[in-house]
Amino acid sequence: MPLDNELIKQKLTEKFGDQLTEWLEPYGMLTFTGAKDINLKVLQFLFDDPELRFQFLTDLQAVHYPDRKGEELAVVYHLHNLVDNIRIRFKVFTDISTPDVYSATALYQSANFMERETYDFFGVNFTGHPNLIRILNVDEMDYFPMRKEFPLEDQTRTDKDDEMFGR
């Protein structure tokens, strides 16, 4: 039986039940959400299962949703099964005041720099990461620049003429 989104969803539902939610298939890519405290269990199952074999972490990043109270930050994992050439997306949400998510570096070595970059720009604290320090920004920076906490432009500027910008 060839591996497809239905089989992946079935195997994950059998293993984790209703702990995984928000099943979608945008552009054919299976996307689902799980609680942040089971992220490693889900990733380990996807890695170890002999049929699923999601053993390549393509990408890991965060998204800031300021309107989702209690789950403002989403950590998004893109996984690839190289044998069957299938990709999936797994999301976990965390509170911005305690942005702790378990590190996937023990399972995927490629997560090392991706988690450092996600920490650097969004402030997600990856618990268990071997060297979680800033990777691109200066160490003295006391904020996380990719969070949507700041206005896009300074409303007090007087050197701008709105007529020049079509307003």
Question: Apex CA 164: angle with CA 159 and CA 167, to 5°?
Answer: 100
* Residues in Cβ contact with 64 at an 8 Å cutoff, skipping those fewer than 6 apart: 72, 73, 96, 122, 146, 147, 148
Contact 126, 115 (CB under 8 A): yes
| Residue 132 main-chain phi, psi, to 5 deg | -80, 85
Tell me the pLDDT tens digit for each residue of 76-88. 999 999 999 999 9
Q: Kindly state the average pLDDT of the residues 5-21.
A: 96
Contact 120, 99 (CB under 8 A): no
In a domain, 161, yes or no: no
pTM of the model as a whole: 0.88
In a domain, 154, yes or no: no
Q: What CATH number does residue 20 fall under?
A: 3.30.460.80
In a domain, 166, yes or no: no
In a domain, 163, yes or no: no
Domain of residue 18 covers 5-148
In a domain, 63, yes or no: yes
In a domain, 158, yes or no: no
Residue 2 pLDDT: 84
| Element spanning 32, H or E | strand 30-34
**Into how many domains does the chain fold?**
1
Query: Token digits for 141?
Result: 């920076």
Q: SS3 of 144, please?
A: coil
What is the pLDDT of the chain when averaged over all its residues? 92
Tell me the pLDDT tens digit for each residue of 105-151. 999 999 999 999 999 999 999 999 999 999 999 999 898 999 998 77
Q: SS3 of 122, please?
A: helix
